[in-house]
Amino acid sequence: MAEHDPPVDPSPEAPGPPPRPDPISTEEPEPTTAPPPTYSKAPFWIGLLLLLAFAGAGVGVVAALSQPELCDGSTFRSDRFGYCLVVPQGWKAHGGGTLGEIPADLIQAPGEVGTVYIQSVSIDEGQTLEDFADSVRSLNEQAGYQLGAITETAIAGVPALRWDFVTGAEGGVPMQMREIVFIDGENGWRVQMADAKPIFGATASTVDAMLETWVFA
């Protein structure tokens, strides 16, 4: 018996109905969440550093304000020359005097015979204390004074040089004088004191005590 092909169905099955569309959802779609923005940390650190800098400056200002004034306890301050000291009791200080043609502060003893002149002048760059002393001694010698030997001392911790000499009589009494010179920064300082020779020693001791209270302001 011969093999035959399978019989062909004369009436193929009709295609089924098309698939129904998905029902329309009435629910709101979930909102999409955007990733959080990223920020550079540089501005944060810069701001922090500035804050710390200002805080440090504020601490410095407070510390400066909390420090005691340089001239606390002094009874005379020279705003013109920038120093202060304690004037001996009974003495008077004047800030508008002159020594020669150069401005000078004047401090006078009660009898107005003992006097102290204080000057500060600009000096040449590189000028030493010895150079400055020589220039002041030259002024003394030009006035005809016989100068004593130079001795070392100090003003407010700054090295200084001094010497004495005797001038002509004033009212029949010879006057003795002392020059003290020192350098602070770009300024040369000159302190000149004078009094009647018989009482010069006592006046010099009083002036030495006054100069020990010297403060650069």
**pLDDT per residue over 50-80, tens digit each?**
333 333 444 343 333 334 488 999 999 999 9
Least Cα distance to 131 among 182, 74, 90 occurs for: 182
Instruction: Identify the three-state secondary structure at position 165.
Output: strand
Give the model's confidence band at 130: pLDDT under 50 very low, under 70 low, under 90 confident, else very high: very high
Least Cα distance to 118 among 87, 142, 90, 148 occurs for: 87
Report the C-alpha gap between 155 and 208 in whole angstroms. Answer: 10
**Per CATH, is 92-216 categorized as 2.40.37.10?**
no
How much is the average pLDDT of 32-52?
A: 43
Is 15 a residue whose pLDDT tops 70? no
User: How many other β-carbons are positioned within 10 Å of the β-carbon of residue 115?
Assistant: 20
Partner residues linked to 166 by β-bridges: 176
CA distances in angstroms from 38 to 34, 35, 41, 48, listed in the order given: 12, 9, 9, 19
Give the model's confidence band at 20: pLDDT under 50 very low, under 70 low, under 90 confident, else very high: low
How much is the average pLDDT of 175-202?
A: 96
Locate the domains of the chain by residue range.
92-216
In degrees and rounded to multiples of 5, residue 59 shows phi and psi of -65, -40
Least confident interval from 49-53, 69-73, 105-109, 131-135: 49-53
Sheet holding 92-99, edge to edge: 92-99, 102-108, 115-122, 187-196, 173-184, 158-170, 151-155
Least Cα distance to 212 among 87, 114, 77 occurs for: 87
Report the C-alpha gap between 210 and 85 in whole angstroms. Answer: 7
Instruction: Give the chain's mean pLDDT.
Output: 78
Residues 6 or more apart in contact with residue 213 via CB below 8 angstroms: 73, 74, 85, 86
Give the model's confidence band at 170: pLDDT under 50 very low, under 70 low, under 90 confident, else very high: low
How much is the average pLDDT of 98-127?
A: 91
Per-residue confidence (pLDDT) for residue 65, from 0 to 100: 37
Per-residue confidence (pLDDT) for residue 102, from 0 to 100: 87
Per-residue confidence (pLDDT) for residue 120, from 0 to 100: 96
Give the model's confidence band at 168: pLDDT under 50 very low, under 70 low, under 90 confident, else very high: confident
State both tokens at 62: 């407070």
Sequence letter at residue 51: L
Is 126 a residue whose pLDDT tops 70? yes
